[in-house]
Amino acid sequence: RQESPEAAGEEGRRRRVAIVGAGLVGSLAAINFARMGNLVDLYEYREDIRQAVVVQGRSINLALSQRGRKALAAVGLEEKVLATAIPMRGRMLHDIRGNTSVVLYDPCTKQCLYSVGRRQLNEVLLDACDKLPNVRCHFEHKLTSANLREGSMEFRNVSKEVVAASADLIVGCDGAFSSVRQQLVRLPGFNYSQEYIETGYLELCIPSKSGDFQMPANYLHIWPRNSFMMIALPNQDKSFTVTLSMPFEVFAKIRTQNDLLDFFKLNFRDALPLIGEQQLLKDFFKTRPQHLVSIKCRPYHYADKALILGDAAHAMVPYYGQGMNAGMEDVTLLTGILGKQLPLDEALAQFTESRWQDAFAICDLAMYNYVEMRDLTKRWSFRIRKWLDTL
């Protein structure tokens, strides 16, 4: 899109902000920077998700909680997002025999989580970007290099051409494997650590049946099985996206169709007929389990030149359902600090200082939940070990 004449005329006085990554955090950040009067260029590696036939990538749906809702409300989008979200009032636990029990999140005030489609949410945010005359979206632009001191960047576009660009402030919202963070890592004083866990995940589906959900819709369904587990979140089309998380060594042991069906009959006997044997075999063997990484780093900024937000700053394992929510909360916090009209380097330093301990804590909580699920409930481990030994 062309920049509006009004925005172009004021360019001399307005800060040029380049946001790298138009995922959930980047598109929300673009809205906020634009509402503060900056000239925003939003660069995204993938095609425009609104035009994509198939969207590649992580989890199809996510649990939206208070942190994310607050950030959406601040830009007037909460109602729009909740209109198509599905409330999840508690956990529905599925035991090994297929019996279920419910644990409500909040029996008193009835607060709940919402299952939102990643794509729908991203589309709402991008549509809101489109409505702002001072946001320009550049899809199919992959950041390939950046000089943070000079504010210069190079992107490769869909025709494999190199596109040079510059900005006063570069904001990396480019996810766990952030290219912007790679530049920060080179700078003195930047601390960085990452940890892969030995658990991977893959996504399966419980389709709708006769136009309806096959399980009660308003719950986050969990099949806890000690060293591994399965969860399912409801989708708008009345299907459930099912995420199977387990150690790579267990994935590796499941080699044949019979291995898989036996494994499900033993561990997820109520889910198997809902997924359907043929669908399970197709979905399980078509993809490889994905890795999960936890990343801590700081500072999140470099002078008044660069900043990282969301997974680029604090990727976490998904067992606390807070990665996106925390990334959105970054934007809320940052917007509040920028509103104080401090010099930009001071504002960004204040952001790092007020954010890093909370971000580290939520990464730790997510990891703790993972370890707890893996190690602290030993009930099923003996059974699984026995099963593994038979393979």
The yes or no reply on residue 205 touching ligand FAD (CB under 6 A) is no
Q: Which of these ranges, 7-15, 187-195, 320-328, 378-386, lies near ligand FAD under the rule CB under 6 A?
A: 320-328
Spatial contact of 334 and 353, defined as CB atoms under 8 Å apart: no
Between 46 and 238, name the residue whose CB sits nearer to ligand FAD.
Answer: 46
Q: Is 276 in the site for ligand FAD (CB under 6 A)?
A: no
Residue 243 binds ligand FAD (CB under 6 A): yes
Query: Could you tell me which residues are beta bridge partners of residue 117?
Result: 61
Residue 120 CB partners (closer than 8 Å, separation 6+): 81, 84, 236
What does the DSSP 8-state code read for residue 289?
P
Binding mask 1-40 for ligand FAD (x = CB under 6 A): -------------------xxxxxxx--------------
Task: Indicate which single residue of 18, 324, 347, 366 sits in contact with ligand FAD (rule: CB under 6 A).
Answer: 324
Q: Give the nearest distance from C-beta 143 to ligand FAD in angstroms.
A: 4
SS3 content of the chain, % helix, strand, coil (to 5): 40, 25, 35
Largest alpha-carbon pair distance within the chain?
A: 72
- Which secondary structure element, helix H or strand E, spans residue 170, and what is its range? strand 169-172
> Which one, 41 or 174, has the nearer CB to ligand FAD?
174
Residue 41 in contact with ligand FAD, rule: CB under 6 A? no
- Indicate the residue among 73 and 261 with the shorter CB distance to ligand FAD: 73
Positions 55 through 84 that interact with ligand FAD (CB under 6 A): 58-59, 62-63
Whole-angstrom distance, CA of residue 360 vs CA of residue 122: 26
Contact pattern from residue 95 through residue 134 relative to ligand FAD, giving x for each residue in contact according to CB under 6 A and a dash for the rest? ----------------------------------------
200 makes contact with ligand FAD (CB under 6 A): no
Distance in Å, CB of 117 to ligand FAD, minimum: 11
Which residue, 329, 335, 358, 356, is CA-closest to 347? 335
CA distance 168 to 321: 34
C-alpha 84/C-alpha 69 separation (Å) is 14
Question: Which of 163, 116, 111 minimizes the C-alpha distance to 136?
Answer: 163
* Residue ranges that bind ligand FAD, judged by CB under 6 A: 20-26, 43-46, 58-59, 62-63, 142-143, 173-175, 179, 201, 243, 310-312, 318, 321-325, 327
